[in-house]
Amino acid sequence: MLLFGSHARGDQDSRSDTDLLLITQEDAPRHVMNGHLSTSFYSFEDLRSRAQNGDLFVCHIVRESIPIYDPVGQLNILRSEFSFRQSYGDEIQRATDLGWFLVEHGMSIGSGALVNKRIAWCVRTILISRSAETGIPVFSALSLAEFAKSNAVLTLVKNKDETIIDAEILRDLEVLLASFGGDRIFRPRGSYSDYRRRFDSTMNKVGLGTLRADAVASLGYHE
C-alpha cells in the first residue's frame, strides 16, 4: 500500500483527497472514490509495464509516494525501472481536446462539479506532461503554477470541488490551452457530435466519460 499525492508531499489542505495505491492480483485496474478517500487498485505486473513505458500515473507514484506497507520493496523496483518518454504528446492532445470541449460547451453542461473536476484534470495532465518531457516532472498545484509561470493555474486546479461554472475559469482555461496545449482540432467550434466522434477515435476515456456523465446529469440530448 502506497500513499501519494498531496498527503505524501505534505501540502494538503482541508479539501484534499487522500490518495492510496493498493497493489493487488486483480487483472484490470480500477478506482474507488469514497468521500475524500481515493483508492487505486493495480497489479504489480501492470505497474511494472507502465513504469517501463513512462506512464504518467506511475511517474507520480515513483517520484513522490510513501510506502505504508511494502514488505518486498515493490516501490523501489518501480523506481529503478521507470523510464521517461521523449514525448507525452498523446496525453497532452487528449487533455487538450477535452479542454476545448469544456471551453466551448462548459456553460451548457448540467453539472458544474463535473466541469470543474474535468478542468482540473485537463490542466494537471497537460502541465505534468509538459514538465515530464523536461525530465523533471512536477505535480502539486503550486509547482504546476510555477512551471507555467501562471497564478491562474492555482485557481484552475483548486477550483475542482466547486459546483458553480465560472465563465472566467473557462477563459483562463482557454489561455492555458493556447499556451501549453496541443492542436485545436475544431475551429471555430465543434458540436457535441464532433467531440463524441473525436473522443471515440482517439480512445479518450476521460472525454467519453465526461459525455456520459453529462447525459446522466442533464437527462438531455445535445446535437
pLDDT, one tens digit per residue, over 132-170 is: 999 999 999 999 999 999 999 999 999 998 999 999 999
Amino acid (1-letter code) at residue 34: N
State how beta strands 2-4 and 18-24 pair.
antiparallel
Cα–Cα dist 44/54, whole Å: 15
Region 105-118: mean pLDDT is 94
CA Rg value for the chain: 18
**Residue range 82-105: mean pLDDT, rounded:** 97
pLDDT (mean) for 33-39: 91
Give 171-185 pLDDT, tens digit per residue.
999 999 999 999 999
Strands 18-24 and 37-43: parallel
Closest CA to 42 of 56, 57, 27: 27
Instruction: Determine the average pLDDT of the residues in 2-29.
Output: 91
Please determine, for residue 218, whether its predicted confidence score (pLDDT) is greater than 70.
Answer: no
